Structure 1
Amino acid sequence: MLKSQASPDSAVTGATGPDALLFREGMSRVAEAVHVVTTDGAAGRAGFTATAVTPVTDSPASLLVCVNTASRSAQALLANRVFCVNTLSAADLALADIFSGRTGIQGQERFLAGAWETLETGSPALATSLVSFDCRISDARVVATHHVIIGEIVCIRLGEPKPALIYRGRHYQEL
């Protein structure tokens, strides 16, 4: 039986599943690549920092991205129906903070940092990213507090191989 670190004698499993705090603590111990997910189109340009990105299948090539339903960027991404997943290098740590909202910079101002180009969908692709996956939404649904979005990849731009930015233990690290 799983026990909560904060309360070692209390059970955290049961009919409702594990305790949310314990789940977040457990996930903080998993190293994840850091991405900036961007979109552009009729609903405007937007972007956010994400670690909840994973491949779905290689034929057709697709990615799954999760974004909080309360996010301002989520609405633009869903309306534009396109997005680009930009995997960050360790040198792009400042961009991770900017697009996560930690710096207070909002909206279009976020794109003043970094060098941006476009690929097939018109979504911003970070010139310094390790890789950029340009996608069209093939499926989207709400699961609890998040939009779960699957994008079919229409273009991939490989960047220079260099140290990656990861998130683990609630802070960024170089790998």
Structure 2
Amino acid sequence: MSSPVLNAQAPLLAPDAGAYRQAFRRTAASIWVITAAHGAQRTGLTATSVVSLSAAPAELMVSVQPGSSTFPLLQASGRFGVNLLTRTQQAIADRFAGRDGCQGEARYAQADWHCTPNGVWLLSDAAVAMNCEVAEIVWRRTHALVIGRISALRLAEGPCLPLLHSDGRYVELATR
């Protein structure tokens, strides 16, 4: 497979919303499921915008739309789960993205979840599962940047290939 060639003579585009989205669609990103629960309610979302912030203390950041069904529960409880999906878990990614119309509790069907003592839902067979406490929420334009302090994490045993998304579709790593 050949690499695309950048045409140095092509005009630079204004960073409007369409060009911006196209630029970031071209990256390969890991697929994460963010879970949130408060009281008797639980829901979650699929995200590619999870970023490591610090190893000591262990913190991460996830970008969340405040209008999502997940954000109010995350904000009210002050905690959330972060689950890295493997390449065999596309159906979970689709369910938490709402592609099949599932909402709330229904998104947890057809997968094995467990609840931590502090009420965070983690996917039992995730490549990585992290229990996070909200350390800070930074409001920026259309999103809330949720900084989470990782209070506990679990790594799957053995090698696991993450589920990746690029250019609007799932992709796999090429191995050498």
TM-score norm. by structure 1 comes to: 0.88
Shift of 1:10: 7.0
Determine which of 163, 171, 174 is the counterpart of 1:173: 171
Shift of 1:117: 1.0
* Number of the residue aligned with 1:59: 56
* Number of the residue aligned with 1:12: 13
SS at match of 2:93: helix
* Number of the residue aligned with 2:133: 136
Determine which of 126, 150, 155 is the counterpart of 1:153: 150
Shift of 1:120: 4.7
Kept in 1: contact 2:41–2:104 (CA 8 A): no
Determine which of 51, 75, 79 is the counterpart of 1:78: 75
* Number of the residue aligned with 2:122: 125
Q: Distance in 1 between matches of 2:126 and 2:118?
A: 17
Aligned residues: 164
Kept in 2: contact 1:64–1:151 (CA 8 A): yes
Does 2:68 match 1:104? no
Shift of 1:43: 6.9
Q: Which residues of structure 1 form unaligned runs of 5+?
A: 1-7
* Number of the residue aligned with 1:45: 42
Q: Distance in 2 between matches of 1:81 and 1:42?
A: 12
C-alpha RMSD of matched pairs (Å): 1.7
Q: Distance in 2 between matches of 1:9 and 1:174?
A: 30
Q: Which residues of structure 2 form unaligned runs of 5+?
A: 1-8
- Per-residue CA deviation, residues 5-62 of structure 1 (Å, 9 max, x unaligned), is xxx987634xxxx221111111011111000000223372111000000011011000
Shift of 1:122: 1.9
Task: Provide the identity percentage.
Answer: 34
TM-score norm. by structure 2 comes to: 0.87
Determine which of 92, 103, 116 is the counterpart of 2:113: 116
Shift of 1:164: 1.2
Aligned residue type for 2:118: T
* 4+ residue segments displaced more than 4 Å: 8-11
Worse overlay, 90-99 or 159-168 = 159-168
